[in-house]
Amino acid sequence: MTQIKNRCVLVTGGASGIGKLIAKSCLEQRAYKVILWDINEVNLLKTKDEFANLGYEVDTDVVDVADLDDVLRASKRVKDTYTTVDILFNNAGIVVGKPFVDHSHRDIAKTININTLALMHIASEFLPGMIDQCEGHLINIASAAGLIANPNMSVYASSKWAVIGWSESVRLEMEAASTGVQVTTVMPGYISTGMFDGAKAPFMTPTLTPEYIVEKIMKAVKNNEIILQEPFMVKSVPVMKGILPQKVFDFLAKKVFKVHNTMDEFKGRPEDEAVPDKENLKVGNK
C-alpha cells in the first residue's frame, strides 16, 4: 500500500481541475509537502491562497512542462530543496480537437510535448531518487482516448496511446528490478473540468465528475493498482477490440456507441480560462 502521510508529492497541472483536487486530497492525508507545477501563474497563486485559507501550505512553481529546460530547472529546485519526490502525479495535459489536416505543426508538437514527452522527462528526473530509497509511486494520467481511435482526436489520442505503452513498460521495468517503485496508469473517459467542453460522452459512458475520478485515483494509489479505467464501459474496450473484427468494432463504435461523434461540438475552455502558452496555443489542464 502507498501512504500519502509524511510523503513529498508533486502534482503537475496542479492549479485547477483534477490536479488541484488531487493536491487537496494529499494535503488532507497529511503529506509532508505538496508541490504544484502549472503554467498558469494566476490560477497557481489563487490555488495557493485557497489552500492557505484552509490551513495548508503548498510549494508552487510556474513551469512550462513542454519546455525541457524549464522542467530541468524546476526539477533541480525540487531536488535541492526536498532531495526527492516520493509520489509523482503526471497530470498536466492539453487537447486540440479538430481533424488532423487542420492541425498546425505547433498544435502537433505542443500536444506531444505536453501529453507525452513531458511525462517521460519529469519521471526521468525523479525515478532515480525513488529507486535509491527503494520506494515511490509514479501515477501517469493517460486517457480512455488512448484505447480507441476517434475522429477529431488523432493527435490527442496518439499522445495518450504513447503514454499507456510507456507507463506500462516502465512498470514492468520497476517490477523486474524489484525497485519498490509502484506505477499506476489512469485511463478516464470524459471529465467535466472544462477541458472537453462541448464534447459528448459515448452512449452508456457517463461523463465523470472531477470529484469522482479523483476519489478513484487516490484509492488506486493507496492500493497500488496497476491500471485504473473509468467509467465501466472503458474497461470493455480492450476486450471488444480483441475479439471483434476491426470493421465490426468500428461499426459499433460509430453507430451504436456514437464514439465517432463525441467531438462534433467540441469547444474546449473559453479563451479567458485557457492556460497561457508562450506560443499562444489554447490549452488546458485536466
Q: Give the model confidence (pLDDT) of 92-128 as tens digits.
A: 999 999 999 999 999 999 999 999 999 999 999 999 9
Count of domains observed in the chain: 1
Residue 201 belongs to domain spanning: 8-273
Give the model's pLDDT for residue 276: 53
Calculate the dihedral angle through the C-alpha atoms of 237, 191, 59, 72, rounding to the nearest 10 degrees: 50
Kindly state the DSSP code that residue 207 receives in the 8-state scheme: P
Residues of the chain with pLDDT > 90: what percent?
Answer: 83
Beta-bridge partner residues of 60? 36
**Cα separation values, 45 from 37, 57, 285, Å:** 11, 12, 15
pLDDT at 282: 37
pLDDT of 150: 93
Give the catalytic positions in this structure: 156
57 CB-near residues (< 8 Å, 6+ apart):
51
Residue 286 within a domain? no
> Could you tell me if residue 164 is inside a domain?
yes
Residue 3 in any domain: the answer is: no
Length of the chain (residues): 286
> Residue 63: which of 101, 24, 13, 106 has the closest Cα?
13
Residue 12 lies in a domain: yes
- The answer to whether position 168 is within a domain reads yes
Question: Is the pTM of the predicted complex or chain greater than 0.85?
Answer: yes
pLDDT at 286 over 70: no
| Residues 6 or more apart whose Cβ sits within 8 Å of residue 63 | 12, 37, 38, 39, 70, 71, 74
- Specify whether the CB–CB gap between 71 and 92 falls below 8 A: no
| First-to-last C-alpha distance (Å) of the chain | 26
- Residue pair 147/186 in contact (Cβ under 8 Å)? The answer is no
DSSP string, 8-54: EEEEETTTSHHHHHHHHHHHHTT-SEEEEEES-HHHHHHHHHHHHHT
Domain presence at residue 281: no
Grid-cell match 492549479, residue found: 15
Per the DSSP assignment, residues forming a β-bridge with 138 are 88, 183
The enclosing domain of 123 has a CATH number of 3.40.50.720
Q: Is residue 283 part of a domain?
A: no
pLDDT digits 0-9 by tens, 253-284: 999 988 998 998 887 765 434 455 544 333 34
**171 occurs within a structural domain:** yes
pLDDT of amino acid 264: 82
Instruction: Quickly state the pLDDT bin for 165 (edges 50, 70, 90).
Output: very high
Element (H, E) at 128: helix 118-132
Mapped to the 3 state alphabet, what secondary structure does 240-251 carry? HHHHCCHHHHHH
Strand order in the sheet with 59-62: 59-62, 33-38, 8-12, 87-90, 136-141, 181-188, 227-230
